[in-house]
Structure formats: structure tokens, C-alpha cells
Structure 1
Amino acid sequence: MNCPCQSQQSFETCCQPFLTGSALPETAEKLMRSRYTAFTQADVAYLKKTLAPESRHDFDEAATRKWAETAKWKGLQILATVKGTAQDKKGTVEFIATYEADGEGLDHHEVSEFRKAENGQWLFVEGDGHTHAEGEGHHHHHEKPQTVQREAPKIGRNDPCTCGSGKKYKKCCGTDAA
């Protein structure tokens, strides 16, 4: 059986040793892949075990189990990995996890932060993510910032006031009291 993390390896040689505890993921990306696989298996104990201690306070075991069990996990796509320096032992993984919930295909796009503990174990610290319709694409999901085009030249604080008073703009019409 191919590993659910889509590494193109068998489950037995990829994520299974991590989930069973017979091996530790050697990189932040391998931990990310194994955590995705844990979701597909509803292995909430592994998800909790691979959380950094400072991130466990708001871990909702029941909600995590419900999400893992009710979602139909469809795939994982690693978009980018950034390794920290050897000294700080940090890593970042950007990914999209595709799943189906209540008949709707969804993409969970996240940038996750990891760190390597003193014992050599990689831990999930936090993630910044959002979910949108499957295939919607990250660029379609977010509006691009609009360039502001002024109809008149910008008036600087130290420019002469436009009312003709002869005062600086900041001392005349440019104040909040004006």
C-alpha cells in the first residue's frame, strides 16, 4: 500500500515506523507527512505526542478525532520546506491537505512551524492556515491588493496648505481639529 502522505513509498517504509514509535522523523517535512498520515488513520495519540509542549494547552482531542474520522482524506501536497539553521533547529513546511467533508471537496492550506527537541524529535509548534474549496487555488482565494491612484497630487505635511492660508498643511487643514 502506498503511504497516505503521497511520498511514493510504501506505508511500511515511510510513515508507519513514525506512527508506531519505532523511528523518529529525521526532518520537519517527514514529521509533517507523518502527521497528515496520522489524520488519515485518526491516530490522535500520535498527533498529540508530536505537538510541542507549549502547543498542547489548546489541543482539542475530541474535535481532532471527529475531524480525522469524518473527513475523507484525499491527498497531501508539499509546496515548500524551509530548514532552519543547525543552531536553531527549526523548520517550516507549507502544504495543502485535500479532503472531503459533508460531500464538499476542501483544501486546507497551511504554513507550519516545527522545531527539533533536545532528544532529536521534531515537534509541531504552530500553523497558520485556512481552508477553501478544493482546486480553488491559493491565488484565487485571496484578493490581490489594489493600487491606489490619486486624482490629485499627495499633499505633504510640510507643504503649504491648499486653502491659501499661508500656513503649513499640518498646522492648518491637515490637523484632526480642522
Structure 2
Amino acid sequence: MKPADPCPCGSSHRFAACCAPALSGERPAASAEELMRSRYTAFVLRDAAYLLASWHPSTRPATLALDEDPPPKWIGLQVRRHRPLDADHAEVEFVARCRVGGRAQRLHETSRFVREDGRWYYLDGDVRD
């Protein structure tokens, strides 16, 4: 992905000014919504290392395989709601769409996030219909 390309997360920003700094470790996500967007972009780019690093240690899996065959083609993210619960906890409801083997799929989830030592982490989520 080139820095001038539109960011995959669906914001109106270029990749270099949106998710790239979080993915590279240059700057952590400033909010739970930014972390959600950067994690979606990491799925698009198949960046398992970033996904694991941004997952809270209490719920993080030991490994994350992104070697599906055929791989999903991520086609869009819609953030429906970002709800801060307090200074260090938030929820983000989103719908992520992809195609797998030509078949459309979507993931509708309300994810929970926590901030520790100034850094946001994904905790877990509830998949919705």
C-alpha cells in the first residue's frame, strides 16, 4: 500500500495520515475508534503481528493465522457507533464486509476496548446479526 493511497479503513484520509502511523508503531491509536480502524486495515494488509500487538494480553490468542485459502478480499468498513464508557474503556460497533471465493460476507460486531498506559487495546466483541 502506498502512503498516498486512500486508507482501507474508509476514512476520508490517505493511508500515510490515517492508519499507517499506528501500523508502523510510529504513533499509537488515539481512540478506540482509531484502533478499530487500524485493526481493520491490518486485516486488509494481513498484518497478524499488529493485530496481536493491539489485542489485550488477557484475551489475546497465542497465534493468529491469516492464511485462509482463498483469502478474504476486504471491501469496506462502516463504523456505526463509537461509545466512550469512561476515560479508559470504550465500545465500537462496526460492520466489515468482505468477499471469500466470490461470496459476500459481513461481520457486524460490537467490540470492547481498554486503554492502559496511554495505549488502546482490543479486548473482545459480540458478533451481531
Task: Answer whether contact 1:39 1:68 (CA < 8 A) is retained.
Answer: no
**Which residue does 1:112 correspond to in 2?**
111
Instruction: Kindly state the Cα deviation for residue 103 of structure 1 after the two structures are TM-superposed.
Output: 1.1
CA shift in 2, pair 1:77/1:50, >3 Å: same
**Number of residues of Structure 1 aligned to a counterpart in Structure 2:** 125
Higher strand share: 2
What is the aligned-residue RMSD (CA, Å)? 1.6
Q: Distance in 2 between matches of 1:91 and 1:85?
A: 7
Over residues 35-74 of structure 1, what are the superposed CA-to-partner deviations in whole Å (9 max), with x where a residue is unaligned?
Answer: 0000000000000000101112x35412xx1249800010
Bigger-Rg structure (1/2): 1
Over residues 4-60 of structure 1, what are the superposed CA-to-partner deviations in whole Å (9 max), with x where a residue is unaligned?
Answer: 00111000000000000000111000000000000000000000000101112x354
Over residues 93-133 of structure 1, what are the superposed CA-to-partner deviations in whole Å (9 max), with x where a residue is unaligned?
Answer: 0000000012101111000000001x211000001115xxx
CA shift in 2, pair 1:45/1:115, >3 Å: same
Q: Which amino acid aligns with 1:52?
A: H
**Which residue does 2:42 correspond to in 1?**
38
Q: Runs (4+) of structure 1 moved beyond 3 Å?
A: none
Stretches of structure 2 that go unaligned for 5 or more consecutive residues are none
Identity level (%): 38
Stretches of structure 1 that go unaligned for 5 or more consecutive residues are 131-137, 139-178
TM-score, length-scaled by structure 2: 0.91
Higher relative contact order (CA 8 A, sep 6+): 2
Over residues 122-169 of structure 1, what are the superposed CA-to-partner deviations in whole Å (9 max), with x where a residue is unaligned?
Answer: 000001115xxxxxxx5xxxxxxxxxxxxxxxxxxxxxxxxxxxxxxx
Q: Distance in 2 between matches of 1:6 and 1:59?
A: 29
CA shift in 2, pair 1:69/1:47, >3 Å: farther
CA shift in 2, pair 1:107/1:59, >3 Å: farther
- SS in structure 2 opposite 1:61? coil
Instruction: Kindly state the Cα deviation for residue 77 of structure 1 after the two structures are TM-superposed.
Output: 0.2
Q: Distance in 1 between matches of 2:27 and 2:74?
A: 24
Q: Distance in 1 between matches of 2:34 and 2:110?
A: 15
Q: Distance in 2 between matches of 1:47 and 1:68?
A: 19
